[in-house]
Amino acid sequence: MAHSDIHYFGIRHHGPGSSKRLLAALEQLQPQYILIEGPADCSDLLPLLAHQQMKPPVALLSYAVEHAQSSIFYPFAEYSPEYQASVWAKQQQIPSAFIDLPIAVRLAQMQAEQLHSEDEEHTNAEQLTPNNNQSDGKSDDQSNNQENTPQLTALLRDPIGVLANIAGYQDAEAWWNDLIEQNRDDSLAIFEQVEHAMTALRQPVAQDSPELAHDHQREAFMRLEIAKIAKLCDGPIAVICGAWHVPALKAKHSAKDDRALIKALPKKLAASKHKSTWIPWTSARLATQTGYGAGVAAPMWYQHLWQHRQQDDHIAPWLVFIAQNLREQGAVISTASVIEAQRLCLSLAAVRDRPQPSFEEITDAVISCMCFGEHALWEQIHNTVLLGHQVGQIPDDTDLVPLLEDLQKRQKKYKLKPEALAREHSLDLRSDIGQNKSILLHQLQLLNVPWGELLDSGSSRGTFREKWRLTWQPEFAIKLVEHIVYGSTIEQAANNKVMASLAKEQNLAVLADSVLNCLTANLSQATEFGLTQLTLRAGQVSDCNDLLTSIAPLIDISRYGSARTLSLSQIDALIERLAIQAALALPYACRNLNDEEAQHVQQNINSAHRALVLHLGDTDILAKWWQAIEAIAHSDQSSYLLIGLCARLLYQNERLSREQLSTMLDKMLSPALPPAQAARFFDGFFTDSVDQLLYDSLLLNAINNWLLQLEETTFVEFLPLFRRVFSNLDAMERKRLFDTLFNNKAHAEIVQNIDTNQHTYWQQHMEKLAKLAQRNKDWLA
Amino acid sequence: MSDILRLPVEQVYQSELDALKADDTGNKPYNWAMSPQAVVTYLMGGKTASGVDISAKYIGHRRIIETAVATLATDRALLLLGVPGTAKSWVSEHLSAAICGCSTQVIQCTAGTDENQIRYGWNYAQLLAHGPSKEALVATPLLRAMENGSLCRLEELTRMGSDVQDTLITVLSEKMLPVPELNDAIFAQRGFNIIATANNRDKGVNELSSALKRRFNVVVLPLPDSVDQEVEIINKRVAEMGQSLDLPVPKNTADEIAKVVAIFRELRGGETLDGKLTLKTPTGNLSTAEAIAVMVGGLSQANWFSQGQLTAAEISQSMLGAIVKDPVQDRAVLEEYLETVLKKRKGYEDYYHHLNQVL
């Protein structure tokens, strides 16, 4: 049975003007069923859109469970006609449904395309993924087809925008407004006019052009869906879809042809393999600037238009809003300027023959009157004003992606609100709540969701304070969804993800670092696994550098772990084992190195030494370590840079006497040795400890003699080295050094003569103080 | 042809103005000669309803001119801001010609301009003979514009001292000029407005006080966006000036203009047009107006001394003058540009050669 009472409303996605007219038209028509362009298999999610707690901007997210990276979003703003229609349907208590191709088919298509492109170009596969992520489900996602003629693409994306451009408007909404507000006749007629325009626009497009193939399928599907629902329903039906599709939906096609068209579609994904839900969106993401296809240039302006749709004067509030923003930036904007801007808007609109000022006029007027003609000033606030920082909200009882659900739960529990605007948080790790917050943020970081940015990372480790900067991006929700393969809670997913990467990791140092990260993120499972891995790998590692670099983070873990109340008995054993291994391998690792390698080893020895001395105290293992250092220092085969370093470490710890050092210096700096070798020794010895020269005459004399006997050319050759080493001294120290060298002053300063005559006075003085300490009142006597 | 070197624009374009007025059906603000839409058409070029061609006076964004005209249609004063040579005075001249049919009510502001040249002076003979009276006042262009409700142009507003600039505040906000000596005031007639031009690049200018700035709607005139646009502007102006100066314009002028524009834009922008090479910029600002002057200089040289042949040789001399404003710094900049860019570029061999010669 044919149903004749079907009404088609061609709207502009995200057009507040469309919404306003649509609502009026719906009131007039009082349909019994509302059909909306959107994935048919998500229809049961549609009533949620009208939920009281649903606060746009929100988006319908659909993703393939096994390939969470293939996902599609259908964003809705408060002013989206689709959103308003669904709210209306809920108020009137009439059913509504989506009628576009099911998400199961779209995802299957997407995966097929991905496979296709991966076959074509393995290397580019990564780049194509984000492309698919961005693709817009609602409008016509032809983005995969790179050979689109730009005109046709524009037409498919925003046909009303194209019409507006033809009419000389930059902003499609202004055109729609002028066109429609001028003709204040009944709303139904307006949609007819829009349909005529679309028919005219569609005419010249070749029906068989490849860009349209996808559209044809979609339209065929929608026709079938409409027919199906028409059979169930008696009253008038309202079909709300992109204006572009109206002529095609209205055209007569036999159901048989349509079915044939749909046959060509890939097979649906099984219901268990895809999932759809609502996620919060941000106003900024609605904008075209962020790469989203059918977006709007100025979401906040549209929002404003929508909010003030019932008022005649919506310009003044907008100008005041801009003025406030400018004032926040420090510009002095008087009320008089705002009034002048308003007047200029009006006269500009008159000059341009427009019924009322639109976005363009207002921008021009603002620049001229409020920014004193300076574009730079406007650009400063342009993003805040036009894009805004709104984040949508979804009802508490929405069927959430499990990870998101977990996140929301913890956000609520720890009182961390997702906000688009950056905000700094200082956490006290001694309190439970602070620690919990920190753990959550660290776990999210491991899941590639950098909601928080640790501001003073590194220095804060081990202290009780952390400073974070929190900025929530809607992409984070998507990233979380991608990680759903790892587990259904954030902690579990983070644990599993880290464990997966730990299992593959061969490098000891990276392993040790990851374990440290796991600790801060309180992932006990992954930490334990990491430690096991470390123990396993430690046996296999022969490269001394790996051993050395893993020691410092492990010692960090050991010290940090005890502060975090985590049992880490095996970690100390591991450190000891690694230290022994390193100590054994070290002397050999210091041989036959070129300069670059030697420097690398130098750094590693330095960091490991510092950590070991701190951690091990006086143990046998430390003794082993010192043996290794000694072996390096006394071996002719070691790199001279490292000999220098080790000699200094020994000397500083009084494991090398002055006599021994003196002999060593003479030997290393003797004229027979090539100056390059001597310079390396010098480098190793004095890098980071040149201040030793200030109070050690032995060293000073040795170096002084060596430098003096260098030939001029050699001296010049090593000048950069000397400059580098001596630049560690500050101005005062350098002066002291020069004084010592040239005036022999320093000795006079340092030498202290003890005046024994004063001895008795001291004795008395101390006795008095002792009395005072005993609170004896007559201590002065 | 008249003996006047450069006629006021309302006379040069009288036929266009008349044609626009004849077809003008739009609403006119009080005391305007034509509707705002017609003014925009006059400036931007187009066709009147009866098909008369209107030449473009300003080549650039239509929005800028629309904002300017819309400003004047209110009672707000207009300030045209921009680097030297971006057609500020040109636009202001044409705006006043189109709106009130008179572009000659102008005050040239300099460091030496005092209040008497802005407000009113005194006829001292009258003053001594009859004492202070309205008859003893000597009207300035501003005062006359107020009295007859027309436009007054202020050229280079920022060049005069800040104290003198501020004389305008009362005029702009209260639309009247007090004459305390007579215990009287002169009230502006409807239609009165001010178009000021100022330049935001020069050193030694007096910044506008914020009180005064607030009373202007500011429109910034940018340098031309694209090469083509700039070439178009210069082509048009050179042809017009050639005509008024009786200089024949050889056929190859357009090609040479394109080359001069390319060189100017590269030096001005600090990089080659293909964006591959960064260049030093000279101290001068090498505006479109200067490119026009260079071309007219070249035409004159060609006409009088080179048998009408316009080549790189004729243009180079005036080009050098435009580029090298600072004899030491700019010379080095130009030398570097010649050696690194022009030397290798095809079609510019002549310029390389001749510029090197005159350098």
pLDDT, average across residues A277-297: 63
User: Bridge-partner residues for A6, per DSSP?
Assistant: A237
Asked whether residue A548 is domain-assigned, the answer is no
Question: A404 or A153: which carries more pLDDT confidence?
Answer: A404
Query: Last residue of a domain, which of A439, A458, A486?
Result: A486
Question: A209 or A564: which carries more pLDDT confidence?
Answer: A209
Most confident range, picked from A260-264, A630-634, B34-38:
B34-38
pLDDT at A146 over 50: no
Most confident range, picked from A177-181, A349-353, B31-35:
B31-35
Task: Supply the range of the domain harboring residue A686.
Answer: 664-735
pLDDT, tens only, A433-487:
888 888 888 888 888 888 888 876 544 445 577 788 888 887 787 677 667 666 6
* Nearest chain B Cα distance for residue A451, angstroms: 38
pLDDT, average across residues A372-380: 84
Q: Are A665 and A659 in contact (CB under 8 A)?
A: no
Using a CB-CB cut-off of 8 Å, the residues of chain B touching A347 are 36, 70-71, 73-74
Query: Last residue of a domain, which of B220, B250, B283?
Result: B220
Same domain, B68 and B206: yes
Asked whether residue B3 is domain-assigned, the answer is no
Task: Supply the range of the domain harboring residue B272.
Answer: 227-358
Contact A368 B37 (CB under 8 A): no
- From the list B36, B214, B220, which residue is nearest A336 (CB)? B214
Same domain, B238 and B178: no
To the nearest whole percent, how much of chain A has pLDDT over 90?
1
Name the band, by pLDDT with cuts 50, 70 and 90, for residue A560: low
What is the predicted pLDDT for the residue at A508? 80
Contact A350 B70 (CB under 8 A): yes
Contact A352 B66 (CB under 8 A): yes
* Nearest chain A Cα distance for residue B303, angstroms: 42
Same domain, A362 and A417: no
Contact A344 B76 (CB under 8 A): yes
State the Cα–Cα distance between residues A665 and A265, nearest whole angstrom: 83
- From the list B210, B214, B220, which residue is nearest A373 (CB)? B220
Same domain, A367 and A413: no
- From the list A347, A360, A373, which residue is nearest B74 (CB)? A347
pLDDT, average across residues A162-169: 78
Q: Are B151 and B95 in contact (CB under 8 A)?
A: yes
To the nearest whole percent, how much of chain A has pLDDT over 70?
84
Asked whether residue A108 is domain-assigned, the answer is yes
Name the band, by pLDDT with cuts 50, 70 and 90, for residue A141: very low
Query: Last residue of a domain, which of B193, B220, B247?
Result: B220
Same domain, A11 and A127: yes
Same domain, A212 and A349: no
Asked whether residue A709 is domain-assigned, the answer is yes
Query: Last residue of a domain, which of A470, A486, A502?
Result: A486
Name the band, by pLDDT with cuts 50, 70 and 90, for residue A292: very low
Same domain, B268 and B349: yes
Asked whether residue B289 is domain-assigned, the answer is yes
Q: What is the mean pLDDT of each run of 10 residues along chain B (359 residues)?
A: 82 92 88 92 89 89 90 90 87 94 92 91 92 91 93 92 90 92 92 90 77 88 86 87 83 87 86 71 84 89 85 86 83 79 82 84
State the Cα–Cα distance between residues B301 and A669, nearest whole angstrom: 77
Contact A351 B73 (CB under 8 A): yes
- From the list A332, A347, A374, which residue is nearest B70 (CB)? A347
Q: Is B173 on the interface with A (CB under 8 A)?
A: no
Contact A372 B73 (CB under 8 A): no
What is the predicted pLDDT for the residue at A593? 82
Tell me the pTM.
0.62
Nearest to A79 by CA among A302, A301, A384: A302
Same domain, B114 and B257: no
Most confident range, picked from A36-40, A234-238, A378-382, B38-42:
B38-42
Nearest to A597 by CA among A545, A549, A668: A545
Q: ipTM score of the complex?
A: 0.77
Same domain, A141 and A25: yes
Q: Are A428 and A405 in contact (CB under 8 A)?
A: no
pLDDT at A148 over 60: no
Task: Tell which B residues from 200 to 229 touch A, by Cβ distance under 8 Å.
Answer: 210, 213-214, 217-220
Task: Tell which B residues from 56 to 95 touch A, by Cβ distance under 8 Å.
Answer: 63, 66-67, 69-71, 73-74, 76, 79, 81
Of all residues in chain B, the one with the smallest CA distance to A336 is B214
Q: Is B158 on the interface with A (CB under 8 A)?
A: no
Using a CB-CB cut-off of 8 Å, the residues of chain B touching A332 are 210
Contact A351 B76 (CB under 8 A): no
Name the band, by pLDDT with cuts 50, 70 and 90, for residue A150: low
* Nearest chain B Cα distance for residue A351, angstroms: 6
What is the predicted pLDDT for the residue at B153? 95
* DSSP conformational letter for A457: T
What is the predicted pLDDT for the residue at B346? 83
| Residue A506 amino acid letter | Q
Same domain, A186 and A86: yes
Contact A347 B73 (CB under 8 A): yes
- From the list A332, A336, A348, which residue is nearest B66 (CB)? A348
Q: Are B67 and A365 in contact (CB under 8 A)?
A: yes
Same domain, A477 and A417: yes
| Count of C-beta atoms within a 10 Å radius of residue B264 | 24
Name the band, by pLDDT with cuts 50, 70 and 90, for residue A127: very low
Same domain, B149 and B187: yes
Our count of domains for chain B comes to 2
Asked whether residue A494 is domain-assigned, the answer is no
What is the predicted pLDDT for the residue at B275? 65
Same domain, B49 and B147: yes
What is the predicted pLDDT for the residue at A566? 53
Question: B163 or A208: which carries more pLDDT confidence?
Answer: B163
Asked whether residue A342 is domain-assigned, the answer is yes
Our count of domains for chain A comes to 4
Same domain, B134 and B245: no
Of all residues in chain A, the one with the smallest CA distance to B64 is A364
pLDDT, average across residues A528-539: 78
> Three-class SS of residue A7?
strand
Give, rounded to a whole angstrom, the gap between the first and last alpha carbons of chain B: 39
Using a CB-CB cut-off of 8 Å, the residues of chain B touching A372 are 213, 218
What CATH number does residue B141 fall under? 3.40.50.300
Name the band, by pLDDT with cuts 50, 70 and 90, for residue A133: very low
Same domain, A428 and A464: yes
Same domain, A154 and A262: yes
Same domain, A44 and A113: yes
Name the band, by pLDDT with cuts 50, 70 and 90, for residue A157: low
Nearest to A97 by CA among A218, A234, A2, A238: A238
Using a CB-CB cut-off of 8 Å, the residues of chain B touching A331 are none
What are phi and psi for residue A439, nearest 5 degrees?
Answer: -65, -45
Asked whether residue B105 is domain-assigned, the answer is yes
Asked whether residue A766 is domain-assigned, the answer is no
Asked whether residue B1 is domain-assigned, the answer is no
pLDDT at A374 over 90: no
Same domain, A406 and A383: no
Same domain, A406 and A451: yes
* DSSP conformational letter for A50: T
pLDDT, average across residues A131-154: 45
What is the predicted pLDDT for the residue at A542? 65
What is the predicted pLDDT for the residue at A145? 39
